Structures are given as C-alpha cells and as structure tokens.
Structure 1
C-alpha cells in the first residue's frame, strides 16, 4: 500500500510512533512521500494549566516512549520530500491544493504532524488519512491522553487509529486497543497506552486492505486540558491510592486454592458460582496455595501447587482428593498452568515454564508421574511464553500466550502444522490488546460447534475474574473474537482459570486475610 507520511517541520517521531511506523512498513506499508508541514503552531500556554504542564514535564525524562527518533532509517532512498505551509482556517489546518494534487497516486496518508486537519476526505488518496486518536471514543474525547480516565477512576483507557473525517465522531475506527489505567501513576498510565499503541497502525492498514472497521459511538464528553484544581484533586486521589496499595501489601495477603463447581459451565450464559457451594481441594503439607487447574485426564486433575519454603510452583496430579507431585527435570524452576496433550499415542505434559526456559513438551509416565523425555517446540527456542495454551483446529495447531514484559495487556498467537512446530507468528498477532482479557485463563472451550476463549481480567488487579470471548475466526491468516461477558465468584475473588469437565467445572479462587506477616512474606518472596 503506497503511503504519504505527514509530519511536522522536522523528520522526528516519538519513539512509540517510530516503532508503530516500523511495524507497519514491515507489514507492507510503502512510504514513497514525506510531507513536512512548516507552520504548525502550539496553542498559547495559560496559567490555569500550569500544574498539568508541570506534572507532564516531571514524568517525561522517565518515559522512553516519548524520546525523539529520526525517521530517516525507515524511509526509502528515493522517497520524495515535500515541504509546505498549511492554510489556516481558525484552529484548523488544510493541505494546500497544489500539494494535494501530488498525492493522486497514493493509497493512504499516515498523519503524525499538523494539528486539527480540515477536509481529510478531500485529499485525492484511495483510503484518506489515518491517525491515532487520543481518547476513548465512547466516553472521552479531547486532551490530554489518559488524564481524564485516571481522574474519573476508570480501569482502562482506549487507544484507536481512525480514518479521519470532520464528522462529530471523528471518522471510522480501523483498529483499537485498551490499556490499563494505573491509579497511582499518570506516567505509568501513559507508558501503558503508548506501548499498547505500537501494533495498531499495522492493524489499521490491514483493516483498510480488508475493508473492515470497528463500530464506534459518539463520545459523551469533549475534554480540554485540565485546570490546576482538577490536577491537584487527581494528585490527591493518586496519593490515596498509593497509600492504600502500601497498606494492602503490608497487611493483606491472598490465599489461592482450586475447587470444583458441580454444575455445567455454559460460556453463552454463565452462572456466577457461590463460594459456599464450591468443593476445594486439600493442599499437601508444606504447600501454601494451589491454582491453574488446566487439565483433567484419565481421572486426574493437574494443577499448580506452590511450596511454602521455595516459593516455586510445582505440578501436582490429584485423584480422589489426594495430590501427588509430578517430577519434571527443570532444576527446581517455577512451573504452572499444566496442560495435557495426547498426540500420536503419546501423552505429553505441557506446563508454563517461562521462568525456566522455552515452551517444552514432557513425555509423561502416567503411572510414575515422571518425564520420560522432553521436546522443545521448534521455532520458539528464544521465547518465554506465559500461560501457553495450545489447540488443534481444522487441521492446524495454534498456540496462544503472552510474553513476560506485557502478558497482562497483549496476547500473542503462533501457528503450526504440528504441535512440535515449526511455529511461526500468526499474521494477526497480537490478537488481543486489552487488560480485561489478554492473558489466557485456561484451555479453549469447544462446545455446541463453537469455540470460546477465557482471558484473565487484570484491569483492576490480578486474579479478580475472567472475560469470556467467542472466537469467530481462527485460520492460519485470520483471527477474530467477540467479547461476551465477565465471570466472577460470589463470596470470593477470582477465578483466573476455568476448566470445564463432563459433570461440572474446575476453577481457582482466592480469599484475603489480614496478617502482620503479609509484608514480610512478600519481601522474602522477592528475595528468593
């Protein structure tokens, strides 16, 4: 797709914009022209916004995503460079007609420069102008990025790439993502948003090729820069949240366990379980919690159980309420999220072992609960995959999972013709950019001819519940899903893993208790 890149007077982008453009170019965007607008203007600074500007200036040195980068290394040697002054119409800027005429052979304009663009539909390019949008189109519009979501106590913020127009809803949404709002830090909130934004430009260009859009609504409010009073009030909320987090860490701790719910699990119409009706397993002596019920095979439930002295997860197999440790050759490393795969007459245990090494199958001796051999997945030797979840679907194998640095907000997908590989990244990866559902929450669920995915909702805090999504497309080149509903427990927190079986389903949950040793144990756990 032939593109013109619209910049300001120089050839720099912010680091996150640079990475977004780089990924789009790798995905097939061909930048043949660079437009430099030479008369961009910044609005005059007003005293009533001084505290907000001080807040952003204080955080900027610790925000690598906002560092300037020269875009030249991404451009072709024969790229055409055009400098022009825009035509001003009030607070709007218009591309002059003589410059617009030079864009007739282009497919799209990618906008990073200029302010409010007047008449983007009038430019003679096939797909118009695409640009990032600074706020949630369903609730917030206007400046600044993320502040009003933080001020109003929202758990997530929305980032989009639009095909611009001058209509009230600002055009069609081509790609969108959600990032986590951090109630204790505006800087962290922005960093999350910028990192999540990087893949969206490539996804938007793909949407133009496929003529697909995301439904969007007219925003309820159009914000301006916050006043000094608004910023001071929000800083007070952030300080209160920070104190609350410190007190929680010092005196409150979670107690995780696994339980059986003796009722069917219907992903289309999930029924919230009652904590009093759940049937928990018994922890072995010396172990502090259990989680991740990810496999039920030949009458055994496979879960993660954490040892109290090492702080490391181990895999246990439960039969008739009794647990037995599965001995795997990982040198004492942390294991979790155990799955069972039957392939060509061999039973494999497939745990999450991102703390130890790349994804690996262990041939399982089901009588001795030991490993007879191990097989690293080809193509993933350099990956550390968190909560890896594998499924065979219509003759192909798919692996869902996250990387350690962003597992809570970004879901990757790999594809192969064999469970052993070679595995390659799916063309649509990342397939989910949303802290409410990106991290996997157990095996995919196939029922009534449909496929469902459960994802952990980490938008507020870890382990509070899951989001159920229905997978609409899953092929080696396409992926699509519809977020359907959230799922929680009445009387406890969780789950963050769901495993349906024939006569009910297994899940994990946690309760909280107050103890003066909570902070001590947290410090010890980090030092191990």
Structure 2
C-alpha cells in the first residue's frame, strides 16, 4: 500500500532510446509530478509488423496535404543515463532481474509489440496499455476506421493487459471528436487525448492506487485495412478536400447574433428569434447581455476576416434589438473572445478568453460599457478556453476547458478551479480535474444560471464539429472535493431553418441572446 511518504514508481516503455511526441509529453509531465518517480524501460529486440506500402503512401500524402500541429511520426531520443532500464526482449533472465529490482508499481507499455507474462507481471499494480477505438490494432492505424467511416468520436482507453486471456481490464476511458478531413490531424488529436487520459489516471492512482474500479472488456481483433480500403480512402480524401475547397470558394460561414424572450430550460424555442447580422467582412459571436433600463448591452467577440484575430466589442441596442451604438472595448496583440461579464462587489468585471496568450485575465470596468482596464491575471501558463465564473457557497468557481498539448482538442476536458476572494490569492485546481471528459458537453457556453432552485451550466456540443449545438447541465454536487452534473437537454441548430451551429446562450432582463452560424453566398450582398 502506497503512503504519502512513498512515491508511485511508474515505468514507461520506449523502443531503443526513442519515443514519439505523445510519449515524450507523458514522460515530461510525469517527471514534473513530485509524487511519481519515473523509470524509463528501453526495449530492444522488438519484433513488430510495419503497415503495408499502400497505407504508408496514403498516410504520407495525407500528412503532406493536411499536417497535424505535431507530427505523429517525429521521434526524440531519451537520456537513459539515470532512472532507466534496458530490456532486451530476446535475451536471458538478466534483464528481467533488472526489471524486478526496479520495484515498479505500474508499467505503461507504449511500444507496438507484445510482452511476455514475466514482464506483464513484474509491477505491483500491473501493466497498462492504450487501446484506441474498439479493437487492438498497430499504432499506425489509429483513427483510420473512424476517419474512413466518419464516426463522430474515437475512444481512448487505458487497459490492464492480461496475457493469454480473451479479455482485458478497462481502467479508464475518454472520447475525442473525429477529424473527418485528415487522418494525420485525427491521429494527432487522438494521441494528445491519450496524453491527458494517462496523466489523469496517474494522478488518481498516485492519490489512491487501489480506489480505481475496473471492468472486464473483451478483446476484439480486426484486420488492418487492405488494398481496397486504401484505394477507397484515397477517393474519400480527395472528395472531402474538393468539397471543402468549393465550399470555401462559394460561401462564407458567418457567426451572427439572435435574440428573443427569456426561455425555459427544457425548451429554448429559437425559431422565433430575430437575427442581428454583422457586416459581411466579419463575424459576431460569444454574446453576453446586460439589460439596463430600456437598453441592452451586448458584449461580443468581433473577428474581421482580414486579420483573423478577435477583439471584444460592445453593441448597444434598444428593446427591439436595433443597434444604437457599437465600439471596440478591448484589443490585444493576441486573439480574444468569450467576454464573460459579471458584477462583483458593486463593480463590473470581464474575463475574456485569451488562450493564445496562455493566461486567464481579469478586466475591471472604468466607465460602463466602453472603458476597461486590466486588473490581474487569474491563471497563467495555461491554454484555458471560455472561462466561466460561478459564485457559490462563499467561493468563486472558475470553469474552463484546457488544451494540455499543442495538437490536442480545446473542447474535450472541463477543468474547475476555486478561490475565496477573486481579487487576491491563487486559484486552486479541483482534485477531480478534469471534471468532465466529453466533447458532447464539456466546453462552457455561457453564464451558469438558476432555474426552479437548481443551477444549470450551459455547454457546447462539439460533435460533429466545434460549437455545433447547446446543452444544459444541472449541477448536482459542487464542493472542494466533488463535482457532479446531469445532462438535461440539448438544442440543435436544425431547430432553426438557417443555422449550421450555435454555441453561446445568455439571458438578462427578460431577454435571451444566442449566436448561430449561417452560410452566406460569397458573391451576393
């Protein structure tokens, strides 16, 4: 049994002394955790099968045309001078004795090869591996079946490997949205999701190694894609690229605003909402509303297509939605969006999304609604998206999705932080982070609000694409140790005749404001 005085000894396998980007990210992150001691297990004598020549050709062309932010093919050497073991899979028992002497609690197996019973049983809590999708396939094929069939999501699982059995023990699982356009980008996102899942699982194991429940999972075997499937993949890649190019040439996908009367939580009727359409050279999105007297103040992200960089603006409208004034209020050298505005201790404050700057910043209003000044940085060195505050039980709670790695998704993992006084001190991360790991309802979509005595958190449905629809989640448990919510309802863009997507919901003073994405013909005014 581990105690707080004893660190968790974690081994990770690498091939020879090299590893791909996602294993390097895992190793670097583990090395920074004080409660975990990392031991690298370098495998030599590895026997593994390479993908066929036609699949390699397809993957190379796909990567050249649509490269991921991080190349899944790039590898980096590891320094094996300390805290490392070299294990020859074809040698005698000397190497196995080295492994036993390492006294590992867990061995994570990241190399594409089978291990013997003696290696699988060498760590106290077992040997864990990653499984992508619903079948065991070589890593080169990860995400191909989902990309080919345009399945909405791809699952990532951590399993405890059981040699000689027809089942494994499922330890933990998450899902990430499938990239329908590019296999390379899809694989980058999947492996980045695996990094998050491994680190989250290790964090929970280091706190309580015997508390994670498991369940049996049958081992499914599938054949890698053959020649016919690869030929079909070339045609599908080509047709998807052509469709994207034609769509971009003829159409503009523009975010617009829609407003209407305050809505009930279970039935947001957007069919009768009235649009507020921006000029054709920009979009307006992420609206927050403050209703005062006979005026509505709409705080929005404004993004001119020419710069492709968002800033924050305020539109002043009458009660019928007619714009009476508009002005840019906050602009920085980096992209801004999601102007979360709120009143605190008698003053107006605003938190924009500034993930590009790797900060979460607080702005204070000097003269409402157009003059603002920077007050303090709430979080730093973090790519946090759509930060949303909730004031509850004498604490300030900050919800945001976090993109841990460059190639990962900003839509999948909801993190929670809290503090007693918003204006001083440091936010404390919640021990359950990420509290939600699901692109169907993780990313925030507006202010948390109360309805019939319950608190509801609006969120984005980011499947099959970013910002596709709205979801409403009832917060059931919120304290410094626990978080639970229940998905109550969803509102889809198909409920409005012209919308492709919608991803923000806010209400004030009897009015509701949302945003929606429409398709406009590029060559018509």
Q: TM-score range by the shorter chain?
A: 0.7 to 0.9
Shift of 1:205: 1.3
Compute the displacement of 1:17 (Å). Answer: 0.3
Please say if 1:458 is aligned against 2:462.
yes
Partner of 2:351: 350
Which residue number corresponds to residue 169 of structure 2? 171
The separation in 2 between residues aligned to 1:38 and 1:100, in whole angstroms, is: 14
Kindly state the Cα deviation for residue 258 of structure 1 after the two structures are TM-superposed: 2.6
CA contact (8 A) 2:156 2:174 kept: yes
Q: Cα deviation per residue 1:458-512 (whole Å; 9 max; x = unaligned)?
A: 3333432134445555445655555565431312333211124575743222332
Per the normalisation by structure 1, the TM-score is 0.78
Task: Give the counterpart of 1:56 among 56, 59, 74.
Answer: 59
d(CA) in 2 for partners of 1:263, 1:163 = 50
- Does the 8 Å contact 2:42/2:84 carry over to 1? no
Q: Partners in 2 of 1:484 and 1:216 — Cα distance?
A: 30
In 1, the alpha carbon distance for the partners of 2:503 and 2:118 equals 45
Conservation of the 8 A alpha-carbon contact between 1:286 and 1:307: no
Residue deviations 1:175-210, cap 9 Å, x none? x33333222221111112222222222211123344
Counterpart for residue 363 of structure 2: 361
Secondary structure of the structure 2 residue equivalent to 1:72: coil
Partner residue, 2:288:
294
CA distance in 2, matches of 1:32, 1:284: 53
Q: Once the two structures are superposed, what CA deviation does each residue of 1:38-71 show, in whole Å capped at 9, x if it has no partner?
A: 442123x68xx33113333556786534322233
Does the CA contact (< 8 Å) of 1:261 and 1:278 recur in 2?
yes
SS at match of 1:273: coil
How many residue pairs match? The answer is 493
Alpha-carbon offset, residue 414 of structure 1: 4.1
**Equivalent residues of 1:5, 1:112 under 8 A apart:** no
Provide the C-alpha distance between the structure 1 equivalents of 2:213 and 2:341, rounded to a whole number of angstroms. 38
Which one of 75, 78, 95 corresponds to residue 71 of structure 1?
Answer: 78
Cα RMSD for the two superposed structures: 4.1
Question: Which residues of structure 2 form unaligned runs of 5+?
Answer: 1-6
Question: Mean Cα displacement is larger for which, 350-359 or 236-245?
Answer: 350-359
Work out whether 1:180 is the aligned partner of 2:182. Answer: no
1:387 maps to what in 2?
386
For residue 436 of structure 1, report the CA deviation from its aligned partner: 3.7
Partner in structure 1 of residue 444 of structure 2: 440
Q: Alpha carbons of 1:501 and 1:515: their partners in 2 closer, same or farther (altered >3 Å)?
A: same
| Other-structure match for 2:4 | none
Q: Matches of 1:216 and 1:464 in 2, distance apart?
A: 34
Instruction: Assess if the C-alpha contact under 8 Å between 2:85 and 2:99 holds in 1.
Output: no
Please, what TM-score do these two structures have when normalized by structure 2?
A: 0.78
Alignment partner of 1:253 is 2:252: yes
**Paired residues of 1:183 and 1:238 also in contact (CA < 8 A):** no
The residue number in structure 1 matching 2:3 is none
Instruction: Tell me the equivalent position of 2:189.
Output: 192
**Alignment check: 8 A CA contact 2:312 2:330 kept:** no
Question: 2:185, 2:171 → 1: CA distance?
Answer: 25
CA contact (8 A) 1:465 1:488 kept: yes
The runs of 5 or more residues in structure 1 that have no matched partner are 89-93, 519-528
Q: Distance in 2 between matches of 1:384 and 1:33?
A: 29
- Describe the superposition over 1:143-174 as per-residue Cα deviations: whole angstroms up to 9, x where unpaired: 42111111111132122222333554521232
* Cα displacement (A) at 1:247: 0.9
CA contact (8 A) 1:24 1:201 kept: no
